[in-house]
Structure 1
Amino acid sequence: MTTAFVLSGGGSLGSIQVGMLLGLAESGIAPELIVGTSVGAVNGGWLGSRADVEGIGALADLWRSLSREDVFPTRPIVGLLGFLGLRSNLVPNHGLRRLLKDHLQFRRLQDAPIPLHVVATDVLSCHDVLLSSGDAVDAITASAAIPAVFPPVNIDGRELMDGGVVNNTPLSHAVALGADLIWVLPTGYPCALPKAPRGALAMAIHALTLAINQRLALDVARYEKSVDLRVVPPLCPLGVSPIDFSHTARLIERSHDSTLEWLAARQPLVGQAALLAPHRH
């Protein structure tokens, strides 16, 4: 039996996945295959070489140290040029690339100790693209290139952007790669925000996060009868924006505790799409 971890996108809410990963590792659950999209690809890049409790603890420390400027550096002139249609993005991607270069322990995807695959979207065809080899920084940056926020990444002549646009939680890829036990780690979405996001960046990432969650619910309903599918419940209520890094430590703690409680409860693994149903608090 091949165990896969499938990690979805969600901006700064990727910290929630870290708490889930820590709870799974402490319970002796480890991946033999990783498929990641967007921030799930970023976390997957770390997980590909350090999937033990100590390694995930170090990932948690890294997340706790991050600020919004580390990932979404504000450059007014870039934002203005994007607004005027003279650039394809609001934010440069050098912050994300620097984080990956500093912390990835392998140069190429195929060199990851645990097989790692990341999903991006072809800008022109809008087809999802599974990246399993090649430069790891380029591939993960492409998978996390949120449309209009980060610039697309050219890989082998194709302009690639965030995989969450068409296939945020690529269960089909995990199945095709031979997984028969799949743990899905969603970031969830902010179901308890006190008011609508303000600003182009916040609204763009919020909208994509909502779309991601709805697509995930459809995929779970589609696949849970054909494979052994286990969806780690996302945090709820959640009142944190996916561009807000100021609550990272608390989100990791909450998701870690929630994951351990869920594993101990051994709840039936049916109707899991209901965990992701749209709602408000």
Structure 2
Amino acid sequence: MMRSVRDEPGSVRPIVGLALGGGGALGAAHVGVLRAVHEHGIHLKVIAGTSAGALVGAAYAAGLPLAKIDQNVRDADWSVFGRLRPSPRFGLLDSAALLDTIDRLGGEPLIEDMPRRFAAVATDLRTRQGVILDWGRLGPALRASIAVPGVFSPIVIGDRLLVDGGLAANLPIEAAQHLGATFTIAVRLRPEWEYVPVVRSADAIAELETRSDVLVIRPDLAGLSQWSRNDVPRIIDAGYRAAHDALQDWRVTQRHAA
């Protein structure tokens, strides 16, 4: 069970949430998913994201126009994962080179002041538990969520040492539900990106797909790079196609069930 930095009692009204998984440049697929969601007239008030999903989700939750998010994602230099300078602490890599991208994909507001409810998911390095970052400054939360162990230095928030959320929850459905979502559209990218064993991951996804409160979207990203922006236009299109088809099928199913 993941723990929130701020757990508050009380009920929330039923809302649709979006859970965006991680995967480097493959996270560009989330832009296509958002476009399809808009076209289907689905109103989102809750966004949860892990790693690249947190970057795109934060931009949307902060109120950036979808066209602006699309352009920023296309312009982002995803290759920085492979060429950052060593950090003096931990002997790892400094995430400072990603700050410009983070600023362009959501800026530095307080999470609780954003137009839509948002949470970035990180992992407590000491306990290996997922941490839902749903309040405080956006920048540190995003840096924690993308802090891939062995690539970026851990981020300190409060008394926690935080790293990439994919260690605990690469598909942050629980975080979306924590924010109040009673139906969650979950976007899963490549299983190779996930830190959990493939068999365990496959079993978990199979279980999710039988639940009535979760719709799992899996874009076809075969052969596309998660470290280069060269494939980003195709990745965005793949996200759009997968979401469009999944939402159409879901609507048909709902009509037949009515």
Q: Shorter-chain-normalised TM-score: which range?
A: 0.7 to 0.9
Give the structure-2-normalised TM-score: 0.82
Distance 1:179 1:68, change over 3 A: closer
Distance 1:174 1:66, change over 3 A: closer
Give the structure-1-normalised TM-score: 0.75
Residue 106 of structure 2: aligned partner: 104
Residue 30 of structure 1: aligned partner: 43
Which of 46, 49, 71 is matched with 2:62 structurally?
Answer: 49
For the residues of structure 2 that align with 1:235 and 1:24, how far apart are their CA atoms? 18
SS at structure 1 position matched to 2:121: strand
Task: Give the alignment's Cα RMSD to 1 decimal.
Answer: 2.7
Residue 78 of structure 1: aligned partner: 86
For the residues of structure 2 that align with 1:230 and 1:157, how far apart are their CA atoms? 35
Does residue 1:127 correspond to 2:135, yes or no? Answer: no
Number of residue pairs matched by the alignment: 240
Moved more, 222-231 or 117-126: 222-231
Does residue 1:234 correspond to 2:243, yes or no? Answer: no
Distance 1:241 1:209, change over 3 A: farther
Q: Please, which runs of 5 or more residues in structure 1 have no aligned partner?
A: 190-206, 270-281
For the residues of structure 1 that align with 2:36 and 2:198, how far apart are their CA atoms? 22
SS at structure 2 position matched to 1:16: helix
Distance 1:47 1:218, change over 3 A: farther
Does the CA contact (< 8 Å) of 1:110 and 1:134 recur in 2?
Answer: yes
Does the CA contact (< 8 Å) of 2:108 and 2:137 recur in 1?
Answer: no
Does the CA contact (< 8 Å) of 2:33 and 2:243 recur in 1?
Answer: yes
Q: Report sequence identity in percent.
A: 27
Measure how far apart 1:210 and its partner are.
6.6
Cα offsets for 1:151-176 (capped at 9, x unmatched): 11011131100011011112223334
Does residue 1:3 correspond to 2:16, yes or no? Answer: yes
Residue 146 of structure 1: aligned partner: 148
Distance 1:214 1:93, change over 3 A: farther
Residue 3 of structure 2: aligned partner: none
Residue 5 of structure 2: aligned partner: none
For the residues of structure 1 that align with 2:145 and 2:197, how far apart are their CA atoms? 14
Residue 118 of structure 2: aligned partner: 116
SS at structure 2 position matched to 1:142: helix
Does residue 1:16 correspond to 2:24, yes or no? Answer: no
Distance 1:255 1:167, change over 3 A: closer
